[in-house]
Amino acid sequence: MPNENKINLATENVRKPAEGTLNSSGNTLKQHASNAVSEAQTALNQAISSISESNSATNSQALETARQQLTQAEEFLDQAQTSANALRLPDQRSES
């Protein structure tokens, strides 16, 4: 069955680059999630620092800065969660 061998070879030739792309996408998502978590940690540290620098909890500018940094941290955590969810998607390849 020469045609079947050609189809199998063609399928194999397409599958390998596709698998490489899938693996690369997974690595990219992992890196994105890692970066988002790192950015969130930085934003949280900055917020804590802003609160600490104001010796008074009534310093409205310091509290506003901290609020903005916490909002930014929340956005980074949302990005990390989105990447984590994408990494948990079921394998879309069909096994033949």
Summarize pLDDT for 5-51 with one digit per residue, the tens. Answer: 555 555 555 566 656 665 666 677 777 777 777 887 887 787 777 77
Length of the chain: 96
Q: Where are the domains of the chain?
A: 2-87
pLDDT at 51: 72
Model pLDDT, residue 95: 47
> How far apart are the C-alpha atoms of 11 and 72, rounded to whole Å?
46
Confidence of residue 94 (pLDDT cuts 50, 70, 90): very low
pLDDT for res 35: 79
Contact between residue 37 and residue 83 where contact means Cβ atoms under 8 Å apart: no
To the nearest whole number, what is the mean pLDDT of the chain? 70
Q: pLDDT higher for 92 or 67?
A: 67
pLDDT score of 92: 47
- The answer on pLDDT for 1 being more than 60 is no
CB 40 within 8 A of CB 73: yes
pTM for the model stands at: 0.46
